[in-house]
Amino acid sequence: MQKFIVTPNEAGQRLDKLLFKYLNLAPKSFIYKMLRKKNITLNHKKCDGSEKIFVGDEISFWLADETIDKFRETKRFARVPKHFKVVFEDDDILAVNKPAGLLSQKAKPEDISVNEEAISYLLDHQVITEKSLEVFKPSVCHRLDRNTSGLLIVGKSLSGLQHMSVLLKDRTVEKYYLCLVEGVVKTPEHIQGYLIKDEQTNKVSISGQPVSGGHHIENFYEPVGNNGKYTLLKVELITGRTHQIRAHLASVSHSIVGDGKYGSETVNDYFRRNYHLKHQLLHSWRMVFDERKLTAPLWPEFERILKEEQLWSIYTDLQKN
């Protein structure tokens, strides 16, 4: 017989969901059978798996150790180097500054993403253990495009992940981006439209009018300053859809510098030749939630381009706000 005491990272979910993770090789039918036969109990009482579990609850497995071992696969986590910078950390969340080129979540089994790097970081700092990963894995609460840099929130605990998910879903998180765009923008604008995604090309288009299959989108942008050719914009993301800022700005003739999908080839070629730029200059700069204001500084490549293009002082002034 073995016992399992529920910790904060397991609490708040259904009992059967936890059992599927704990006995991860067992058929669901086996787990429900053990519940019916009282071979698995919750606080010494019969249960059916639908019960919500709380911190301190005791789950008892009235099974032979050999049976438990047979249905439990324990994998050692392959640790990877950290490429992000830590912006903020408490017991529930980890806010990181993601570099361009790093995935938020893996797309293929062999990919390395912020998720894997964050777990490695937390293991290295003994915040979590290999054993705790069997029932809860820290994960990003939202995503950034691979070639977009900046602020990304990771849920360290189950409660942190759930809380951030609610805030993001309810749009109570203020999200601000910085981007360098083609042309001179002189006035703030509140732009709206409808986004249509082509799943085959993973590209979106923008319509000014409602369209079948389209999703309503909103952005508010204001110019920070310009050099006569390019403008540094601060963009508030009001809705959040795939490639929303990139496609929306391109649709109003202010495409983001370096954007290979929606940008100007002439502009992109200039920045490739002069700065070896290989990604869009779009940066998740600031998030405001729960009375916190988190800011992720620009990465060196973006900084260098602003300096060379005589736009650095307007950025440093903005950072003081």
48 in any annotated domain: yes
Q: What are phi and psi of 268, to 5 degrees?
A: -65, -40
pLDDT tops 90 at residue 101: yes
Q: Is 12 left (phi over 0), alpha (psi -120 to 50) or beta?
A: left
Please state the three-class secondary structure of 253-272 as a single string: CCCECCCCCCCCHHHHHHHH
- Can you list the alpha helix ranges (DSSP code H) found in 132-264? 158-169, 244-251
Indicate whether 179 and 158 sit together in one domain: no
Indicate whether 154 and 268 sit together in one domain: no
DSSP 99: P
The beta strands (E) that lie in the chain are given as: 2-5, 40-42, 58-61, 85-89, 93-98, 139-140, 149-155, 174-182, 189-198, 203-207, 215-226, 230-237, 282-289, 292-295
Distance spanning both ends of the chain, measured CA to CA? 59
**Using an 8 Å Cβ cutoff, are 294 and 87 in contact?**
yes
Indicate whether 45 and 64 sit together in one domain: yes
Indicate whether 255 and 314 sit together in one domain: yes
Q: How confident is the model at residue 301 (pLDDT cuts 50, 70, 90)?
A: very high
Q: How confident is the model at residue 268 (pLDDT cuts 50, 70, 90)?
A: very high
Indicate whether 159 and 178 sit together in one domain: no
184 in any annotated domain: yes
Angle at which helices 300-308 and 312-319 cross, to 10°: 130
Six token digits for residue 80: 């990877």
pLDDT tops 80 at residue 321: no
Six token digits for residue 206: 């923008």
78 in any annotated domain: no
**Mode of pairing for the β-strands spanning 2-5 and 85-89:** unpaired
Q: What is the pLDDT of residues 136-173, one digit of tens each?
A: 899 999 999 999 999 999 999 989 999 999 999 999 99
Average pLDDT over residues 274-302: 97
Kindly give, in sequence order, each residue whose CB lies less than 8 Å from that of residue 127, ignoring residues fewer than 6 positions away: 156
Indicate whether 180 and 302 sit together in one domain: yes
pLDDT tops 90 at residue 134: no
Q: What is the pLDDT of residues 79-95, one digit of tens each?
A: 999 999 999 999 999 99
Indicate whether 194 and 159 sit together in one domain: no
Six token digits for residue 244: 């929303």
Six token digits for residue 8: 């904060």
Kindly give, in sequence order, each residue whose CB lies less than 8 Å from that of residue 75, ignoring residues fewer than 6 positions away: none
114 in any annotated domain: yes
Q: What is the pLDDT of residues 14-37, one digit of tens each?
A: 999 999 999 999 999 999 999 999
Q: How confident is the model at residue 12 (pLDDT cuts 50, 70, 90)?
A: confident
Average pLDDT over residues 234-250: 95
What's the pLDDT score for residue 252? 94
Whole domain around residue 260: which residue ranges? Answer: 174-319
Tell me the pTM.
Answer: 0.85
User: How many CB atoms sit inside 10 A of residue 216's CB?
Assistant: 12
- Give the least confident one: 13-17, 129-133, 183-187: 129-133
What's the pLDDT score for residue 135? 84
Indicate whether 37 and 135 sit together in one domain: no
What's the pLDDT score for residue 38? 96
Indicate whether 104 and 188 sit together in one domain: no
- Give the least confident one: 67-81, 212-226, 263-277: 67-81
Indicate whether 138 and 165 sit together in one domain: yes
- Nearest Cα to Cα of residue 57 among 71, 69, 43: 43
Kindly report the CATH number assigned to the domain that includes residue 215. Answer: 3.30.2350.10
Beta bridge partners of 294: 287
Final residue in a domain of this structure, among 99, 134, 169: 169
Q: How many domains does the chain have?
A: 3
Indicate whether 178 and 311 sit together in one domain: yes
Indicate whether 46 and 145 sit together in one domain: no
157 in any annotated domain: yes
Give the whole-number percent of the chain exceeding pLDDT 90.
Answer: 86
